[in-house]
Amino acid sequence: MSGPWLTGDLVRILVVEDDKDLNRQLVAALSGAGYAVDTALDGEEGHFLGDTEPYDVVILDIGLPKMDGLSVLEAWRRSKRNMPVIILTARDRWSDKVAGMDAGADDYLAKPFHMEELLARVRAQLRRASGHAKSEIECGPLRLDTKTARVTCDGQQVKLTSHEYRLLAYLMHHRNRVVSRTELVEHLYEQDFDRDSNTIEVFIGRLRKKIPAEVIETVRGLGYRMNIGEQ
């Protein structure tokens, strides 16, 4: 089954924004695009989450209570936390943008902004982080369009649930290596979700009924790997 939530790459995102209304809008847009989203309303909580949980992208406001966004970002980078960070700022001065980039930001967006632009920037960061310059990823007969979240097999669309899509997309983004069940659980579910690695096996089984079963290879004792064949 497909749905409106399947409109972006996969992934787990942290939103650190103290404006509650904007925070809710960001969560709604990102969740609607198929991402697992955690949130923080101040810099201290945001720093803690970013320092202890594996995120694929962070959206970070600069003007935060308790600990400002630049300090949060600098602390992450000192701790070798290298996830892509998009900073949000209401400031238009070029010096603030330079300070953000010098602190280790990968991109910035000035408020107010269009949510579609933010989603496009998130997609771009995900492609760069996984080494894909184009919006389409191919693995054997499978093709994933990260812009529309459309999966096809030999040209025919494959209808997936949100969790099936997240799992397949993560494996395709990391197609050149074995991905453990623990890593899949950490990146597919929000922080407060009841994480059970056994559910990964269930979703793998469902996927193998919708795509050629041999495309997802089980590496005994280690995890799963995409069998991409001749490229």
Per the structure, how many domains does the chain have? 2
Does any domain span residue 35? yes
Q: Are residues 123 and 179 in the same domain?
A: no
What residues have CB less than 8 Å from 54, skipping those under 6 apart?
A: 12, 83, 183, 186, 187
Domain annotation covers residue 231 = no
Q: Are residues 85 and 119 in the same domain?
A: yes
> Does some domain include residue 94?
yes
Q: Establish if 7 belongs to a structural domain.
A: no
Q: How much is the average pLDDT of 197-209? A: 86
Ramachandran bin of 143, using left for φ above 0, alpha for ψ from -120 to 50, beta for the remaining angles:
beta
Plot region of 221 (φ>0 → left; ψ -120 to 50 → alpha; else → beta):
left
* Residue 202 token pair: 């269930």
- Residue at 106 is within a domain: yes
Q: Which residues of 37-57 are buried (b: 16+ CB within 10 A; e: fewer)?
A: bbbbbbbebbbebbeeeebbb
Verify that 39 and 108 share a domain, yes or no: yes
Q: What is the mean pLDDT of residues 45-62?
A: 94
Say yes or no: 84 and 152 in one domain. Answer: no
Same domain, 122 and 142: no
The SS3 assignment for 212 reads coil
**Mean pLDDT: which of 4-8, 166-170, 191-195 is highest?**
166-170
Domain boundary among 101, 129, 157: 129
Residue 28 has pLDDT above 70, yes or no: yes
Q: Can you give the CATH number for the domain in which 50 is found?
A: 3.40.50.2300
Q: Which domain holds residue 183?
A: 136-226
**Residue that terminates a domain, selected from 76, 103, 129:** 129
Structure confidence at residue 8 (pLDDT)? 40
108: in domain: yes
Same domain, 149 and 190: yes
Does any domain span residue 87? yes
**What is the overall mean pLDDT for the chain?**
84
Total residues belonging to the chain? 231
* pLDDT band at residue 1 using 50, 70 and 90 as cut-offs: very low
- pTM > 0.85: no
Residue 3 lies in a domain: no
Domain check: are 44 and 81 in the same one?
yes
The β-bridge partners of 107 are: 86
CATH, residue 197: 1.10.10.10
**Domain shared by 117 and 190, yes or no:** no
Q: Which of 6-10, 135-139, 167-171, 207-211 has the lowest mean pLDDT?
A: 6-10
Domain co-membership, 119 together with 140: no
pLDDT at 66 over 60: yes
**Peptide linkage before 112 cis (omega within 30 of 0):** yes
Predicted confidence (pLDDT) per residue in 100-137, tens digit: 888 899 998 888 899 999 999 998 888 777 665 566 78
Among candidate residues 129, 152, 174, the one where a domain is terminated = 129
Looking at the fold, whether 97 and 175 belong to one and the same domain comes out as: no
Same domain, residue pair 67 and 166: no
Q: Note whether 123 and 141 are same-domain residues.
A: no
